Amino acid sequence: MTPEFVVNFAQEAIKVTLFISMPMLVLGLIVGVAISIFQAVTQIQEMTLTFVPKILIVLVALLFFSSWMLEQLMQFTVTTINQIPYYIR
């Protein structure tokens, strides 16, 4: 195993991780910004008002995107396992 291989493998793993987590992070960000704007307009500074909707939207996104996320993880894992003989050389 060369250092280039290790770096490339780590980069691919990080890309897959970011790609999989992106839908939940983006939806949480959108809801968070919308709630922050709502709080600024109405001057309501309730802490639970920010957490509960973001938690709910992330859970809904997780339920909605879970099959796609699992497919992406399985594809990465299968590719990694299939290439083990080439890694040993």
84 — pLDDT class (breaks 50, 70, 90): confident
Note the pLDDT tens digit of each residue in 20-65. 999 999 999 999 999 999 988 988 888 788 889 999 999 999 999 9
Torsions phi, psi for 18 (to 5 deg): -65, -40
Contacts of 59 (CB under 8 A, 6+ apart): none
Q: Exposed/middle/buried for 57, CB within 10 Å: 0-12, 13-18, 19+?
A: middle
Can you give the residue ranges of every domain in the chain? 45-81
17 — pLDDT class (breaks 50, 70, 90): very high
pLDDT at position 2 is 81
Q: Are 39 and 45 in contact (CB under 8 A)?
A: yes
Tell me the pTM: 0.77
